[in-house]
């Protein structure tokens, strides 16, 4: 049974809430098998759906609120969970191991994800889609096939572990590949909003969307990576990370 059918029968109204998720560690749980659940802009069926999550999918709960009561396979609850996908789902359709809320209450002014608690261990669809687009762009795949795919590395911490960072092999010591690497990097920088790009590191330079006008800055490979190796300098691969909207295909390029 899909959540729309269940939610249509709900009778408890939700007051208008001016909520923003509070700083929180994220709890990783699963959607209950056999269900496709609407991801909404607020904790009730009156809020628009912005997508769905499906049975068995791993999701991260940043915080929780009380909202419309919904009946799921294990009973009714008015707990709604704010997920890493930047929307709310009814806790009735998440397997959390408890009947109560597992996340801290929402209510602060900013959302802060704890990367150590958010190692979802799965590739995000926008990040995989970004790789396929780079691979298919004429001139950006001189080695052919998947030989430029260094990895998304979901077994690592941080953005890679969250499945939203891609490494794309390019050799800065090769004049042709160095030029291609810069072509990729500058294209993604120029279209960062559309792709949901957060950070680009290439050829010992870094660009971050949080300070876009600073342009390309020197990359601190020792402070960030621990050595001055070619890999730490990002002279053998382009590193691209996405914000969550880009990683889940919610930015303009993907819609």
Q: Which of the residues in the chain have pLDDT under 70?
A: 1-27, 107-120, 250, 255
What is the token pair recorded at 202?
A: 């290439």
Residue 107: per-residue pLDDT? 62
Instruction: Note the pLDDT of residue 197.
Output: 94
For residue 153, the model assigns a pLDDT of: 92
Residues 6+ apart with CB under 8 A from 15: none
In tens, the pLDDT along 194-218 reads 998 999 999 999 999 989 999 999 9
Whole-number Å distance between alpha carbons of 27 and 79: 15
Strands (E), 58-182: 58-72, 75-83, 88-90, 94-95, 149-151, 165-169
Rg (CA), the chain: 20
pLDDT at 251: 80
pLDDT attached to residue 154: 86
Instruction: Provide the pLDDT for residue 250.
Output: 66
What pLDDT score was predicted for residue 40? Answer: 94
- pLDDT of 26 reads 55
| Domains of the chain by start residue, with CATH | 3-117 (2.30.30.40), 125-254 (no CATH)
User: Do 190 and 207 meet the contact criterion of CB atoms below 8 Å apart?
Assistant: no
The DSSP line for 208-224 is ETTSGGG-SEE--HHHH
For β-strands 197-202 and 58-72, DSSP reports them as unpaired
Strands of 149-151's sheet in order across:
149-151, 165-169, 237-242, 197-202, 205-208, 217-218
Cα(59)–Cα(117) distance, integer angstroms: 11
């Amino acid at each position: 049974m899909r959540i729309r059918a269940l939610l249509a029968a709900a009778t408890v109204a939700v007051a208008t809430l001016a909520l923003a998720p509070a700083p929180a560690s994220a709890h990783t749980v699963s959607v209950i098998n056999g269900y496709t659940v609407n991801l909404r802009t607020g904790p009730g069926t009156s809020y628009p759906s912005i997508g769905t999550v499906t049975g068995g999918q791993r999701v991260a709960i940043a915080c929780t609120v009380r909202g419309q009561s919904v009946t799921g396979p294990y009973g009714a609850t008015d707990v709604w969970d704010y997920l890493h996908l930047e929307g709310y789902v009814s806790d009735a359709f998440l397997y959390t191991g408890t009947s109560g809320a597992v996340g801290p209450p929402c209510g602060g002014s900013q959302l802060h994800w704890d990367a150590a608690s958010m190692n979802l261990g799965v590739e995000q669809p926008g990040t995989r889609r970004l790789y396929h687009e780079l691979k298919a762009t004429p001139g950006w795949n001189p080695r052919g096939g998947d030989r430029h795919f260094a990895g998304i590395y979901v077994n690592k911490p941080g953005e890679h572990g969250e499945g939203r960072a891609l490494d794309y092999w390019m050799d800065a010591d090769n004049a042709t590949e160095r030029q291609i690497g810069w072509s990729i990097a500058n294209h993604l920088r120029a279209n960062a909003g559309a792709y949901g790009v957060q950070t680009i590191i290439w050829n010992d330079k870094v660009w971050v969307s949080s300070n876009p006008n600073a342009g390309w800055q020197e990359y601190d490979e020792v402070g960030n990576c621990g050595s001055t190796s070619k890999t730490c300098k990002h002279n053998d691969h382009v590193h691209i990370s996405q914000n969550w909207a880009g990683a889940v295909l919610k930015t303009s390029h993907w819609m």
